[in-house]
Amino acid sequence: MIPREIIGNDELLSRQVFHPPMFPDGVLLLVRALFEFPGGQCESLVWHRYAAGLDGIHRMGCERQTELRQRQLSAGRNADKTYVGAATARAVDITQYRNPNGHGFSLCHEPAEGIHHVHVCYDSVPGSQPMTRGDKGEIKLKLAEIFHALSRHVCPDEV
């Protein structure tokens, strides 16, 4: 088993983006598509250090696209899942933000899911009020703002 590592402030982390639900006129609306935190669960990021940078992240995105499309075909569905690129941020920019109620995000290296795998999770300062739906909406918007720049990518036909 690979031990977890502390993620340094200047480490780069990326969120891979797949066939987002909002893609009008070719303009990706990251605010709605980037982070959902379904059921309050953590979301996945890729640590540049272990992915050979953005090129490696794009390679992994293309491999995942192939895997997802094969799964769609096996289920008798249209194979249209598409990797469109990755948005990147520094670890400190993710963890330093706290809304006025003390809510924000924490990062945790999860090497059991792949050496490159990091979870971004809701986090509150000790003693703060319970996180409300409004808090979650506000901090998700902030997280999308932190990851604002999308490095677009088009995968080759076969990976």
Q: Mind listing the pLDDT tens digit for each residue in 83-118?
A: 999 999 999 999 999 999 999 999 999 999 999 999
Judge whether residue 159 has pLDDT over 50. Answer: no
Please indicate, yes or no, if residue 90 is contained in any of the structural domains.
yes
Please indicate, yes or no, if residue 38 is contained in any of the structural domains.
no
- Closest of 60, 41, 40 to residue 50, by C-alpha: 60
Q: Which residue has the higher pLDDT, 55 or 158?
A: 55
pLDDT for 31: 52
Instruction: Say how far apart CA 137 and CA 158 lie, in whole Å.
Output: 38
pLDDT for 59: 97
Please indicate, yes or no, if residue 157 is contained in any of the structural domains.
no
pLDDT for 111: 95
Judge whether residue 150 has pLDDT over 50. Answer: yes
Please indicate, yes or no, if residue 71 is contained in any of the structural domains.
yes
Residue 88, domain extent? 12-21+46-152
Number of other residues whose CB lies within 10 A of the CB of residue 133: 7
Please indicate, yes or no, if residue 76 is contained in any of the structural domains.
yes
Q: Mind listing the pLDDT tens digit for each residue in 1-51?
A: 889 999 999 999 999 988 745 444 445 555 556 788 888 899 999 999 999
| Overall number of domains in the chain | 1
Number of other residues whose CB lies within 10 A of the CB of residue 102: 15
Taking the CA of residue 61 as centre, how many other CA atoms within 13 Å lie in the half-sphere pointing to its CB? Answer: 28
Please indicate, yes or no, if residue 159 is contained in any of the structural domains.
no
pLDDT for 64: 94
Judge whether residue 148 has pLDDT over 80. Answer: no
Please indicate, yes or no, if residue 31 is contained in any of the structural domains.
no
Q: Mind listing the pLDDT tens digit for each residue in 40-64?
A: 899 999 999 999 999 999 999 999 9
Please indicate, yes or no, if residue 34 is contained in any of the structural domains.
no
